[in-house]
Structure 1
Amino acid sequence: MPIAQINIARFVRAKDDPANAAFFEALDHVNAMAEASDGFIWRLIGDGNDATDLEVLPGDPDLIVNLSVWRDVPALEAFAYRQADHRAVLARRREWFAPIEPAFALWSVDEGHVPTIGEGMAKLDELACNGPGKAVFTFGWYRQNRSVFEGD
């Protein structure tokens, strides 16, 4: 069964601050690497080639979202942690973004389902309130409980 992922981030400085230039310079390339990855299905795109222009929360222009669908958790995990260009951006996230908890959530979706920002934000809220479980989870929870998904 496919999985959706959301991750959110709030810039430490205003989104258009020159200190964030390296993040934006890497974004198109990293997104292209995601799209070329085995198991990639879909990602949210706004007016540009990314979703950084989309309003996640009203009045919070420095909060950005990444929302995508993948064939399964191992495919997403391979991209997230083993694709060198993504890892390089991930390693620098503290330069650009303030800590948010939780900032990342995974959940199963039906074939062909396209998640919305609202759905993803609700999953983050569910994770914050109830912790991980089969309905919404993290990579770590999945690794420890992958048998829960066998047969899905």
Structure 2
Amino acid sequence: MDWYLAQLNIGRIAAPLESPAMAAFVDNLDLVNGAGEAAPGFVWRLTDEAGAATSYSVFGDATLIPNLTVWTDLARLRAFVYDQLHASFLRRRREWFVPEEEAVTVCWHVPAGHRPDLAEAEQRLVHLRQHGPTGYAFRLSDAELAATVRGDLQSGGRPQPSSGSAA
């Protein structure tokens, strides 16, 4: 079985999306999302009827908006996240989003063809916040852990929710 990588990142908007303070963010969503969809390794992105994800919320909080995607692997996701275009907007995130003390990004492996929903993504983020990086839920920076878990999955293993930092 082939395994891909799902990722969720959330952001608490600093102002209503229709406000002037959010205009540069909203005006560039199509550009950044289009670049992501054209990036090597991109598989899928959660979208609403308008082709965005800003109508969704997480944890029942309308000020928390999600970005939920699937990629072929962590290396390709990281390449997009830190590429010139996306990184230029990432550097400006404090203009549009309230800094959070807890983790706002989580990654996990999914079988090829699986499209995670927000409930699954929320569960993975909560697990990361409570237990730190594990084979079940980890950060973008956990490349070694992700590679180990992917190898185990390719051999027939399955990551289970657990405590601690072991894969």
**What TM-score, normalized to structure 1?**
0.92
Q: State the partner residue of 1:34.
A: 36
8 Å CA contact 2:17, 2:23 repeated in 1:
no
Does residue 62 in structure 1 map to residue 63 in structure 2?
yes
Shift of 1:14: 2.4
Shift of 1:145: 6.1
Q: State the partner residue of 1:51.
A: 53
Closer, same or farther: CA 63–3 of 1 in aligned 2, 3 Å: same
Q: For structure 1, list consecutive stretches of 5 or more residues without a partner in the other structure.
A: none
Shift of 1:142: 2.2
> For the residues of structure 2 that align with 1:145 and 1:64, how far apart are their CA atoms?
25
SS at match of 2:142: helix
Deviations 1:36-90 (A, max 9, x none): 11110000001212100123233x32210000000000110111112x2211110
Q: For structure 2, list consecutive stretches of 5 or more residues without a partner in the other structure.
A: 155-167
SS at match of 2:28: helix
> For the residues of structure 1 that align with 2:68 and 2:143, how far apart are their CA atoms?
18
8 Å CA contact 1:47, 1:53 repeated in 2:
no
Closer, same or farther: CA 4–145 of 1 in aligned 2, 3 Å: closer
Shift of 1:148: 4.2
8 Å CA contact 1:15, 1:62 repeated in 2:
no
The structure richer in helix per residue is 1
Equivalent position amino acid for 1:95 in 2: E
Does residue 85 in structure 1 map to residue 85 in structure 2?
yes
SS at match of 1:30: helix
Q: State the partner residue of 1:16.
A: 18
Aligned Cα root-mean-square deviation (Å): 1.5
> For the residues of structure 1 that align with 2:117 and 2:13, how far apart are their CA atoms?
22
Q: State the partner residue of 1:132.
A: 133
Equivalent position amino acid for 1:132 in 2: P
> For the residues of structure 2 that align with 1:123 and 1:144, how far apart are their CA atoms?
16
Equivalent position amino acid for 1:72 in 2: D
Shift of 1:32: 0.6
**What TM-score, normalized to structure 2?**
0.84
SS at match of 2:43: strand
Identity of aligned residues (%): 39
Q: State the partner residue of 2:161.
A: none
Q: Post-superposition, which runs of at least 4 consecutive aligned residues in structure 1 deviate over 6 A?
A: none
Return the structure number with greater relative CO, CA threshold 8 A, min gap 6. Answer: 1
State the aligned residue count: 150
Shift of 1:31: 0.6
> For the residues of structure 1 that align with 2:34 and 2:133, how far apart are their CA atoms?
30
